[in-house]
């Protein structure tokens, strides 16, 4: 059973960099065909796909967030990480990591993390 768990600070100051990690158990992030994504949901809004990293390490970003987003991985820890720079209060959201199975793309998620709330405030 694949499980994903987000971790990181719940409060970030404006202009700082938000950094979250997703630790995966029950399956390798390098398993052929799978991709691993970050998604967020701001209060009163729908789900927003932010970007992801494929099984080979290739990264993909939402055009609207590309200039501020970086996704990386550590295969030795079976973990992938989101960094969002120059945050503003509008980046306040619940952040989720998730897995996309082979042959599909967003929103074809088959496993979600439980999510972590991040608030941007001074």
Task: Name the percent of the chain lying above pLDDT 70.
Answer: 100
CA gap 71, 61 in Å, rounded: 8
Identify the pLDDT of residue 70. 98
Identify the pLDDT of residue 60. 95
**Residue 35 near residue 100, CB atoms below 8 Å:** yes
Residue 10 tokens read as: 């719940």
Q: What are the C-alpha distances in Å from 39 to residues 10, 20, 76, 94, 100?
A: 16, 12, 23, 8, 12
Task: Name the percent of the chain lying above pLDDT 90.
Answer: 96
Each residue of 51-81: pLDDT tens digit?
999 999 999 999 999 999 999 999 999 999 9
pLDDT band at 24 (very low <50, low <70, confident <90, very high): very high
**Residue 100 near residue 108, CB atoms below 8 Å:** yes
Identify the pLDDT of residue 38. 98
């Amino acid at each position: 059973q694949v499980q994903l768990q987000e971790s990181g600070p719940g409060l970030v100051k404006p202009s700082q960099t938000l950094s979250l990690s997703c630790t995966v158990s029950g399956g390798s992030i390098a398993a052929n065909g799978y991709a691993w994504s970050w998604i967020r949901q701001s209060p009163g809004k729908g789900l927003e796909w932010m970007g992801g990293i494929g099984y080979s390490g290739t990264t993909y970003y939402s055009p609207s967030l590309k200039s501020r987003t970086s996704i990386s991985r550590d295969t030795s820890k079976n973990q992938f990480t989101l960094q969002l720079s120059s945050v503003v209060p509008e980046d306040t959201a619940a952040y989720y990591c998730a897995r996309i199975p082979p042959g599909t793309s967003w929103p074809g998620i088959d496993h979600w993390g439980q999510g972590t709330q991040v608030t941007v405030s001074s």
